[in-house]
Structure formats: C-alpha cells, structure tokens
C-alpha cells in the first residue's frame, strides 16, 4: 500500500485489496483461511507460497501487511500474545551471555520474562531510568546487545527519548527495541525516530475490544526480520487465522478510537487533578506533565492511559476501586471499555516490593485505561467512588 495515503486509509485498506481475478470472489474484507495445510500442483512449489499455516497463512499475511503499513515499516509479524512477540525478539536475536539494558519502569510481565525466564538461558538484563539517557549509556557493558524501552512506560507514564536512545544504540552497535503499546501506531512511529524494532501487545489498542490476544513486531531491517521470522516459524507461537481477522477488524477503527480515548482521558485527568482525594495525576496531555515538551516532540497524541495516586492507604485505594460501577476493575488496557487496576497488587505484583518502591510504584497508585464511553458518565462514576 502506498505510504503516501493517510493513516486512516492505510488502516482500512492495507493488506486487504480485493482479489478481482477471474474466478475470485472479490472479498472486500480479507477472508479467514482456517486450513492448516495447502495443496500444490508441483512437489517443490507451494501454491502462492503457502505450505503450512504455522509458516504462513493468507489471513495472517494480510494482517502482517497491514501492521507494516500503519507502523511505517517494511515488515510486520503477528504472534499469539505480546509476550510471545517479546520472546521471539529476545530468543531470535540474542544468545547465552548477552545482556540487555531496559527501562526500570517496565510492564511487570516483561520484567518477569527477563528476570525469571531469560536468565535461565544466560541472557541477563539491567535497568536504567528512562528519563536519563546517560544512565542507559553507563549501563552498557561489552556483553550488551540490546536496549529495550516503552514509548510511554507502564504504569508511571515516563517518556523515552527515542531519538537520543537511537543514537546511544548506534554508538554501541546495539539493537533498539521500542514497545509502542500505550500510544499505538496512530499517535507514534518509533521506527521513524530510529528504533530498530517496534512491538505491541495487539491485545490492547490495536485489537481494541478486549476480545483477542496477540502480539506484533515491526521492523525495516531485512536481517532482523529474517531472524525473528525464522524463530516465529521454528517456535510456532503464531497468531491464529481467526485472531488475525479480529485484529485486522480492530485496526480499521483505530484512528477513530484513539481520538476518542484521548478526548475522554484529558477530561478525566483534568477532573482527577482537581479532586481533593487525589494527590497526583500523571497524564501526557496535562500542562503539569513533567516531560510534556519531549512527548510532544515525538508523538502526535497523548493516548488514553492515566496514572494517579489516591490519598490514604492501600485499603483506601481498594475501597475506591470496589465502588466503581461503570469502570471495570480488571487488568489489561486499550479496549473500548474503561478499565482500572492497582499495579502493586495486579499487573506488577510479580515485581519485588522494594523494587516497586524504588521506581515509584506506590501501594495507592492507580492505572486507568479510559475507554470511549461518555466522558461525563466516567467522571460521575469516579466522583461517587472517591
């Protein structure tokens, strides 16, 4: 698909051009190819390049083409979950003895993957403050092969300076991996800023409806793509055809949804910032946001995630969460419905308490994924619960 087309046009049409050849149906939406294997005329010539669904499937290929188009990259790959995508990057590109420098405020599942799974294979990780680029450079060792950050960190919403980190990576011949889940390709394109690999949990904004699990990887680099794609096929954690279709359908409304998420989140953040029972609100769209200038220099929007602290104790925070009526108390984010959670007891419970305290994840920190409901209804729900 022509990259000169606007994002909304690419999101709808990339990977799904109707087949108008004689005998073809001309499907406007890419069909779901459930077959696990594909017949061929010649022994050594797979039909259309398809031989076995784990290796390549027409529906997944359509999705992967769409992913590349919306993230401004040459290649896209789709996996069965976000952590499967992360595993493919790490295991496909690193070996025993290699070292990764990652941001200290990472999604708890990613830290668990580094600290408790990859460490068993001799791959180690150390952590640096994402607001201090020099900290990443100081953490580089002769064994370092990769830098891993999130565009907006989970859950403290710290902003990574992708351009500067790309320079650090270039100086030390490292691979820069950027998790763009919180902003989505609608609000940010890390590859345009120098990232070597961009990944997302497609379960979140890309899918957008809390009904499909998936992870995606995008890159412009031929060699990196070939290694990750080889691991995708060899290890087999691919996205299923039906899930690929669901994710494609979600992408078609990504632009509309992200605009509404952002509009609602700003209204909610402004309400929370004025409330006497809230001690701190962190949202990139607020004038009070500490890294606002950096954020605006590399992203076109602010997303729908707000973090805020309840005054009082963890029991006060738990009581507040239990009183919400519209906003669901649940892990995950990025769906059309609003979701709220307490990181210390939910998404980041696998992170040691002393480590949570060190990076600023307090017992009363709340992460709110603002959905696309009526903003006034969400504010009323928060007000009564507070």
Work out the mean pLDDT of the chain and round it to a whole number: 95
Cβ count near 28 (within 10 Å): 10
pTM for this one? 0.95
* C-alpha distances in Å from residue 110, one per residue of 83, 113, 146, 351, 357: 7, 5, 14, 10, 18
For residue 374, what is the domain's CATH number? Answer: 3.90.1150.10
Which 3 state secondary structure label does DSSP give 114? helix
- Whether 2 maps to a domain, the answer reads no
φ/ψ of residue 51, rounded to 5 = -130, -35
Query: Which active-site residues does the annotation give?
Result: 54, 107, 179, 204
pLDDT at 96: 98
Judgement on whether residues 173 and 206 belong to the same structural domain of the protein? yes
pLDDT at 1: 67
pLDDT tens digits, one per residue of 32-57: 999 999 999 998 899 889 999 999 99
Judgement on whether residues 305 and 332 belong to the same structural domain of the protein? yes
Query: Using alpha carbons only, how large is the chain's radius of gyration in Å?
Result: 21
pLDDT at 318: 96
| pLDDT tens, the chain, 386 aa long | 677 899 999 999 999 988 888 888 888 899 999 999 999 999 889 988 999 999 999 999 999 999 999 999 999 999 999 999 999 999 999 999 999 999 998 998 999 999 999 999 999 999 999 999 899 999 999 999 999 999 999 999 999 999 999 999 999 999 999 999 999 999 999 999 999 999 999 999 999 999 999 999 999 999 999 999 999 999 999 999 999 999 999 999 999 999 999 999 999 999 999 999 999 999 999 999 999 999 999 999 999 999 999 999 999 999 999 999 999 999 999 999 999 999 988 878 877 788 888 888 899 999 999 999 999 999 999 999 99
Judgement on whether residues 219 and 356 belong to the same structural domain of the protein? no
Judgement on whether residues 230 and 294 belong to the same structural domain of the protein? no
- Whether 312 maps to a domain, the answer reads yes
For residue 102, what is the domain's CATH number? Answer: 3.40.640.10
Judgement on whether residues 199 and 317 belong to the same structural domain of the protein? no
DSSP 117: I
Judgement on whether residues 22 and 46 belong to the same structural domain of the protein? yes
**Residue 326 belongs to what domain range?**
255-385
Q: Measured at the alpha carbon of residue 191, what is the angle toward residues 121 and 137, in degrees to the nearest 5?
A: 55
Structural domain count of the chain: 2
Cα dihedral 299/186/195/69 (nearest 10)? -150
Judgement on whether residues 172 and 230 belong to the same structural domain of the protein? yes
Judgement on whether residues 247 and 145 belong to the same structural domain of the protein? yes
pLDDT at 360: 84
Contact, 78 vs 247, CB < 8 A? yes
């Amino acid at each position: 698909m022509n990259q000169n087309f606007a994002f909304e046009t690419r999101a709808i049409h990339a990977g799904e051009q109707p087949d108008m050849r004689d005998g073809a149906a001309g499907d406007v939406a890419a069909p779901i190819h459930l077959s696990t294997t594909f017949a061929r005329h010649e022994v050594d010539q797979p039909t259309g390049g398809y031989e076995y669904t784990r290796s390549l499937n027409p529906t997944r290929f359509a999705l992967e083409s769409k992913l590349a188009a919306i993230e401004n990259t040459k290649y896209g790959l789709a996996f069965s979950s976000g952590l499967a995508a992360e595993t493919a990057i790490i295991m496909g590109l690193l070996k025993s003895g290699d070292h990764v420098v990652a941001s200290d405020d990472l999604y708890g599942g990613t830290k668990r993957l580094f600290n408790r799974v990859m460490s068993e294979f001799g791959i180690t990780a150390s952590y640096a403050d994402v607001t201090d680029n020099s900290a990443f450079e100081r953490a580089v060792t002769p064994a370092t092969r990769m830098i891993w950050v999130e565009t907006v960190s989970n859950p403290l919403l710290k902003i990574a300076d992708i351009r500067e980190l790309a320079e650090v990576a270039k100086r030390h011949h490292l691979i820069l991996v950027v998790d763009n889940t919180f902003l989505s390709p609608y609000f940010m394109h890390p590859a345009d800023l120098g990232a070597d690999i961009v990944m997302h949990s497609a379960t979140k904004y890309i899918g957008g409806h809390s009904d499909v699990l998936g992870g995606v990887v995008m890159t412009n680099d031929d060699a990196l793509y070939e290694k990750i794609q080889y691991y995708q096929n060899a290890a087999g954690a691919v996205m299923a055809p039906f899930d690929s279709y669901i994710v494609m359908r979600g992408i078609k409304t990504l632009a509309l949804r992200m605009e509404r998420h952002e509009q609602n989140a700003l209204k909610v953040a402004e309400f929370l910032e004025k409330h006497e029972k809230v001690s701190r609100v962190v949202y990139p769209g607020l004038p009070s946001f500490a890294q606002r200038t950096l954020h605006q220099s590399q992203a076109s929007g602010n997303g729908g995630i707000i973090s805020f602290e309840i005054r009082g104790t963890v029991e006060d925070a738990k009581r507040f969460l239990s009183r919400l009526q519209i906003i669901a108390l649940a892990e995950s984010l990025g769906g059309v419905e609003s979701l709220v959670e307490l990181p210390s007891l939910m998404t980041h419970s696998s992170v040691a308490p002393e480590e949570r305290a060190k990076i600023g994840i307090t017992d009363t920190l709340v992460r709110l994924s603002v959905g696309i409901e009526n903003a006034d209804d969400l504010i009323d729900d928060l007000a009564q619960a507070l």
